[in-house]
A and B are shown apart, each in its own frame.
Chain A
C-alpha cells in the first residue's frame, strides 16, 4: 500500500459550522469505561446514549461527569419515540433536558421512528408510514420537544426492513420537509441509508441526491450483517466499503460533519473501535485506506438494533463479604 498517492478529494462542497465539526468520535460504551478513565485516549469526541445516564445515580453517571470535563459530548437517544401516536413523555423530556444541560451536550439526537405505543416500549426503532399526516404529526411533536430542550432536535434516518404501501413521501423528502418546518437538524447514518435502500430495492444514489445535506450536523458509521436477501443493521463489525464510499460523498456534501462510529454488538476493545473510525481519514483525504484490523468472527443470529450493550455488567462490580 502506498498511502501518499491518489489524493482525489479536495475541500468539502460546503463549509459546516465550526461548532459542528467535532471530528471523528466514538460511541461511549460501558465496557470501555475503565480504559477511557485510565488512558484518556485521543478521541475527538464521544456520543453517550441518553437513556443510560438520565436516571443514573451510580458509576455510569460519575464516569460521564469525568468524560465531559475532557471531551465534547453529544447525547443520542433511543426512546424519544418522536413518531409515536402516544403522548410525548414529558417526564422523559425534562430529564433529557437536565442531562443535556449538565453535561453541556453539543446537541441531542434521536431517530425518525416510533419505539412503542399504548405505554409499551419495543426498544426498537420502528418505521413510520411516511405521509402528510405523519409529517404534520411528527412536526408538531418536534416543536414541543425543541421547546422543552431549548435547542434544535437532531433526528437520524433509521434502518428499515419494511416499506409501507401507503407511504407517499420518500425518507429524504420527509426529513427535508420536517427540518424546513421545524428547524430540526439531521444526523445522517450512511450505513442506514445503505441498509434501507438494499432492503427496499431502491437507489442509494437517488436517496443521496435528495438528502438535505445542509441540515446535517452529524453522521453515523456502523457495520451490518449481509444475509443475502436482506441486510440487518447489527452494529457489530467493521464498516463495509460501500458504506465508506457513501461516507466520502456525505463528508464532502456536509462540509465535514461530526462523524461517529457505532459498535454495539460483540463490542471489541476500545482501541479496535477507535481504529475503525480513524479509517475515515483515508476517505476524507482521498488516500488508500488503512487495511481493516482483524475482527472476531460474528456469532449467532443477526439482530437489528442491538441494545444489550446498554445493560451494565453488574455482576462484575459485586462481591460477597463474610463478617
Chain B
C-alpha cells in the first residue's frame, strides 16, 4: 500500500494485516499513514492496537478452553492460541465463534500428521479431543434449548419421543470429560492414558450435564438420531449386537428409559419445532 494514494479499503486492508501479522508492516508506509502520538512515535501507536489484538483474543480463547489451557500450560497454550489466531482470524461478529476451528486447527497443524496413526504423539490426540469436548460444551451452553417447554414424564409411548435436538453425542480417545471436571473442581490432573469414552451431553434448566455411556448405549442413541425413531433404533441395535429384539427392548425399558427421560435426552415429538 502506498499511503499517498491509498483508498479507504486499501488502508483498512493494510491495517487489518498489520494486526494479524505485525511483522509485515514497513516503516515508511507506517509513518506516511499515521501521525506520531503526543509522546510516542507512529509505530508505537500502532503497536497498542497490535499488542491488544492478540492479548484480548488470546484471553477469550483461554476462557473458552480452560481445560485445554490447563493441560497445555499457560505458555504453550498461548503459543498455540497466537498461531491459531494468525492462521484462523475471527470471521464472525460474535466472539462465541472464535474457538470454532481450534480443535481442527490443532489436528491439521500437528507436526506428526504425516506419520501412521499409531506412531503419532498421544498427547496431541488428547489435546484435540479435549478441545473438541470443550467446544461442544461451549456451543451447547448458549444453543437453542428446551427450557420453557414441557418435558416428557415417562408416560409417553416410544414413538412420541425424539432426541433433544441439541443433545451432544461424543466419542473420545481419552477420558476428556473426567479431565475437564477435575479441572473444574480445582484439581491438577495429569494427562490421562488413552481410554475410549462415549458421552451424551444434555442441557436442562440451563445446566449442562455430561453422562458417560457404554458403547452399546452410545450406538443406540446415535441410531435414534439417525432414524428419528426409537423403535427403528432398537431393531438396528438388535441386528448389530446379535441379541434378540425382545432383550434389547427390555433393556431399554427397564435399564435406561426413565433415567434418560429424566436427564433430558428426550422430548415430545410435537414440542420440537
Contacts and interface: CB of A to CB of B under 8 A. Distances in A.
A113 to B, nearest CB: 11
Interface in B179-211: 180-181, 183-184, 203, 206-211
Contacts of A308: 56, 59-60, 62-63
Given A59-B206, A117-B12, A314-B138, A305 B91 contact: no
Interface string A140-181: 000000000000000000000111111000000000000000
Which among A57, A61, A315, A319 has the greatest number of chain B C-beta atoms within 10 A?
A: A315
A301 B203 contact: no
A123 interface: yes
Contacts of A199: 37-38, 45
Contacts of B207: 317, 319
**Closest CB pairs A-B (n = 6):** A201-B38, A57-B144, A79-B93, A58-B142, A229-B39, A311-B63
Interface in A209-239: 228-230, 232
A281 to B, nearest CB: 33
Contacts of A201: 37-39
B35 A117 contact: no
Interface of A: 51-52, 54-62, 79, 81, 84-85, 89, 92, 114, 116-124, 126, 129, 131, 133-134, 137, 161-166, 198-201, 228-230, 232, 301, 303-308, 310-323
B103 to A, nearest CB: 15
Contacts of B33: 164-166
B250 to A, nearest CB: 18
B92 A163 contact: no
Interface string B139-176: 00111110110000000000000000000000000000
B216 interface: no
Contacts of A126: 12, 15, 49
B218 interface: no
B93 A121 contact: yes
Nearest to B62: A308
Interface string B32-65: 1111011110101110110111011101101110
B38 A200 contact: yes
B66 interface: yes
A129 B11 contact: yes
Given A114-B12, A312-B141, 12 more contacts: A84-B12, A133-B7, A162-B49, A229-B40, A306-B59, A308-B60, A314-B138, A314-B208, A317-B208, A318-B180, A318-B184, A318-B209
B34 A163 contact: yes
B51 A301 contact: yes
B178 A320 contact: yes
Given A62-B147, A121-B91, A161-B48, A85 B57 contact: no
B93 A162 contact: no
Q: Classify the interface of chain A: helix, strand, loop or mixed.
A: loop
Interface size on B, as a range, is 35 or more
A124 B19 contact: yes
A162 B142 contact: no
Contacts of A307: 56-57, 59-60, 95
B123 interface: no
A312 B142 contact: yes
Given A51-B94, A232-B48, A317-B208, A85 B8 contact: yes
B95 A51 contact: yes
Given A84-B12, A124-B53, A305-B56, A198 B90 contact: no
A165 B52 contact: no
A250 B138 CA distance: 41
A234 B8 CA distance: 28
Given A165-B33, A229-B39, A323-B259, A89 B93 contact: yes
Given A57-B142, A164-B34, A304 B52 contact: yes
B137 interface: yes
Contact of B95 (A61, A123, A137, A303): A123
A120 B208 contact: no
Nearest to A131: B8
Which among A114, A199, A303, A306 has the greatest number of chain B C-beta atoms within 10 A?
A: A303
Given A120-B89, A319-B181, A200 B52 contact: no
Contacts of A314: 64, 137-138, 141, 208
A85 B48 contact: no
A246 B124 CA distance: 53
A82 to B, nearest CB: 13
A116 B59 CA distance: 19
B264 to A, nearest CB: 11
Nearest to A306: B56
Contacts of A304: 48-49, 52, 56
B52 A305 contact: yes
A25 B52 CA distance: 27
B22 interface: no
A161 B211 contact: no
A165 B48 contact: no
B262 to A, nearest CB: 11
A119 B92 CA distance: 8
